[in-house]
Chain A
Amino acid sequence: MAVGQLGVARAVRLPLRARVRELLDREQLLGPLFVTPALLLLVLLVAYPFAMAIYFALSNAFIGRPSEFVGLRNFIALWQSDAFRQTFQNAFVFTGSAVAAKVVLGTALALLLNEQLWFKRMIRGSVLLPWVIPTALSTLGWWWMFEPLYSVVNWTGTALGLIDPPGPNWLGQKYYAMMAVVTVNVWRGLPFFAITILAGLVAIPRDLYEAAAADGAGAVARFWYITLPLLRPVLAIVVLFSTIFTFSDFNIVYVLTRGGPINSTHLFATLARQIGLESGRIGEGAAISLYLFPVLVFVVWAQLRFVRRQAY
């Protein structure tokens, strides 16, 4: 009897399992199923804060006080402010130059790391280091390096004969200050580019190169016609991430210059903090942080389409 029951149970289960298997093979089902955990997490945790953030930007919210909806008033008012317009410009200069530097240097570094190396582990570990040092502390280290009293940057530059003493006042002059914060951002972000691109390079089948080489393609041609196109999906995403990270960068400027001299290095995040937190005006602070939100949403959407299309 017992055996018989078991046999029946098995007989029922087998088709069930097969059915589940078959269902899971359907893209219309498996797709949503796979996306659900991520979506659930975000809806449960972020939906409310996200909606609130947008509401803040459209209201006169002040910390701890009742608020009113004011439409786009914050956005319009901000454009009247010198400090904001300066910040807007800074953000593009900062992000543009930092991301460009990181793409070029990062790709170069990844190509180098993909070569045969003698101290492979040590070199890869060293390259990674800037990304790993806790940002809150590494930016302090950089401040200590640029600070005029002990500036080791100027000391080393002078010792190597690259600059005349006393050297530039890195954090006290407009262009130098921007250069300084961009440098630190590139220093910190380069490992992300180099290593993610390296992982992309590693995945490119080597026989493609061999075939191209056999056809007489030079190194440049191979890079241009094989490496770059195959890297494109990875590159596109890395650039997208980095652009967003860099746009919303806070720590470097906050520690190095607090937005100075005369607002010439203020970024959205640092200005938002100055107005939204230190002065309590959450509404305006939110509007500053979200000023580019519509543009970025469009970029993300376009990027996604681009990535999905790529391989088909």
Chain B
Amino acid sequence: MIGYGRRRLARKVLVHLALVPFLAFALFPFFYMAVTSLKTDRELYDRQAVPLLISQGPTIEHYTKLLWETAFLTWTKNSLLVTLISTTVSLVIGTIAAYALARLKFPGVGSFGTGIFVTYLVPTSLLFLPLAQVVNWLGLGDSKWSLVVTYPTFLVPFCTWLLMGYFRTVPKEVEECAMVDGATRLQALIRIVLPIAVPGLVCAALFAFTLSWNEFIYALTFTSSSEEITASVGVTSELIRGDIYYWGSLMAGAVLGSVPIVILYVFFLDYYVSGLTAGAVK
């Protein structure tokens, strides 16, 4: 009994040790960005200073500049609105499409799947030009709603395909059992398949969320006025002026644009993933 506990402890320590390089790789740049955002301009431009420390006293001037001298809060609100709606819509559309493509047999299923995905192969760096025309035909020029409408064009294929993979991992027999017990296919989907696939759903939601949170080229070209643009576009255009970079505030933008979301994720992800691990094992 004790030996077994020891072995488990040793394994746990080992796992943590193995995680260290991964964490360092993931966090070091972020740490550096955060440090940069708290340094005074004078220290930022001091090449003798130790880059990883704040030696001349931390300052929040870059944050105050970002928050009060630019429309950062409006931009963030726009980003959130666009991201939340487009993610939700895409997830719903993607879930049912994925289920159909992964599980159901119907004529043309292969071409449907490929068709949904093929649009993905035309890089947005090009697609935005004719798409701008469509946006205008819809009368959505210079409106954040143009983004709500267009983001699903890349989120739906993404969610569909990702979820297809997860639906595949749900053993078919589980669903068939339920149907033998008299459940309809819809009921089986909602009561059996979706709960098992929740980690996948959370995953798809999470990545769809960040894909649209980080989207740049559509936001740049479809919206213009300060009340409509998203955070990525606003921050970069306000804080990069020709060959002048406002490093402190740019990095403050990176911090403010990521930390709240990570916290949200951690709660959601943890809640669902751990909750479900138990459920799936049974």
Contact = CB atoms under 8 A, between A and B. Distances in A.
Contacts of A109: 19, 22
A27 B106 contact: yes
Interface in B109-165: 109-110, 112-127, 129-131, 133-134, 149-150, 152-153, 156-158, 160-162, 164-165
Contacts of A207: 281
Given A127-B26, A133-B257, A273-B125, A203 B200 contact: yes
Contact of A53 (B127, B261, B270): B127
Interface in B244-275: 245, 247, 250-251, 253-254, 257-258, 261-263, 265-267, 269-270, 273-274
A276 B126 CA distance: 9
Contacts of B197: 203
10 contacts: A30-B186, A31-B104, A39-B112, A39-B115, A53-B126, A115-B12, A126-B23, A127-B23, A152-B51, A307-B164
Interface in A185-200: 187, 190-192, 195-196, 198-200
B24 to A, nearest CB: 10
Given A129-B30, A202-B273, A307-B102, 5 more contacts: A48-B133, A127-B23, A137-B250, A150-B47, A269-B125
A198 B36 CA distance: 32
Given A27-B105, A28-B106, A234-B169, A304 B120 contact: no
Interface stretch (A1-9, A81-89, A292-300): A292-300
Contact of B29 (A135, A141, A240): A141
A21 B187 CA distance: 10
A196 B114 CA distance: 22
Contacts of B277: 202
Nearest to B22: A109
A217 interface: no
B202 A199 contact: yes
Contact of A196 (B162, B250, B251): B162
Given A24-B185, A129-B27, A115 B15 contact: yes
Interface in A161-201: 187, 190-192, 195-196, 198-200
Contacts of A144: 36, 247, 251
A138 B110 CA distance: 38
Interface in A255-290: 268-269, 272-273, 276, 282, 285-286, 289-290
A52 B164 CA distance: 29
A187 B236 contact: no
Contacts of B101: 35, 304, 308
Interface string A87-108: 0000000000000000001001
B68 interface: no
A50 B126 contact: no
Given A269-B125, A300-B114, A42 B119 contact: yes
A244 B12 contact: no
Given A39-B112, A50-B122, A311-B172, A134 B165 contact: no
Interface residues on A, range: 35 or more
Contact of B161 (A25, A46, A199, A240): A240
Given A39-B115, A234-B169, A125 B262 contact: yes
A202 B276 contact: yes
B263 A125 contact: yes
B104 A190 contact: no
Contact of B254 (A123, A133, A272): A133
Contacts of A268: 123
Contacts of B266: 121-122, 124-125, 128
Contact of A34 (B99, B113, B118, B267): B99
Contacts of A21: 184, 186
A38 to B, nearest CB: 4
Contacts of B170: 203
Given A202-B199, A203-B280, A238 B165 contact: yes
Contact of A125 (B47, B99, B210, B265): B265
A79 interface: no
B100 interface: yes
B203 interface: yes
A48 B127 CA distance: 10
Contact of B169 (A108, A203, A308): A203
Given A21-B184, A310-B168, A133 B19 contact: no
Interface string A141-160: 11011000110100110000
A285 B126 contact: yes
Given A21-B184, A138-B33, A128 B119 contact: no
